[in-house]
Amino acid sequence: MTAGRSIEVHALHWRGVDIEITFERDWLSIAREHDLAASHLTVTAVQPKRAPLPVTETGYRSHFLHSEEIDQAGGPVGYVEAWLNHMAQSREWLDHEQTSRQLSLF
C-alpha cells in the first residue's frame, strides 16, 4: 500500500510575474518501491496568467529531478529562482525582453 502524496505549494514573485511552484519530493511514492529519487517540480505563471518565462514559453513547466538538487539550492523557491536567473541570461530570453519593451505599431 502506498502512502498519501505530499505536494508542497510555494509562491515566487520574479521580475513582475507571480509564480506558483509545486514540489513533490517523492513523486508518486516510487522512490521507496524502486530505489529512485524522482522528485517533481512545476512552475506556473499565475499573474499575468501563463506569462512566458525563461524556462517556458507557455508559462508552465513540469520538471523531474533529484531531490538533492532542490536541497542544495535551499528549497524549491531557491531552485526555481536560480534556474530563472540563469536562463534569463540566454540570448533568446534577452531578445524576448527587448522585443517586449519595444512598442509595436502593428
Per-residue pLDDT, 98: 87
Rg for the chain, CA atoms, rounded: 16
Q: Write down the pTM of the prediction.
A: 0.85
Q: Tell me the average pLDDT across 78-89.
A: 97
Joined together, the cell numbers standing for residue 81 give: 529562482
Report how far residue 16's alpha carbon sits from residue 104's, in angstroms, rounded to the nearest whole number: 21
Contacts of 87 (CB under 8 A, 6+ apart): 54, 55, 93
Asked whether residue 105 carries a pLDDT value surpassing 60, the answer given is no
What is the overall mean pLDDT for the chain? 88
Asked whether residue 1 carries a pLDDT value surpassing 60, the answer given is no
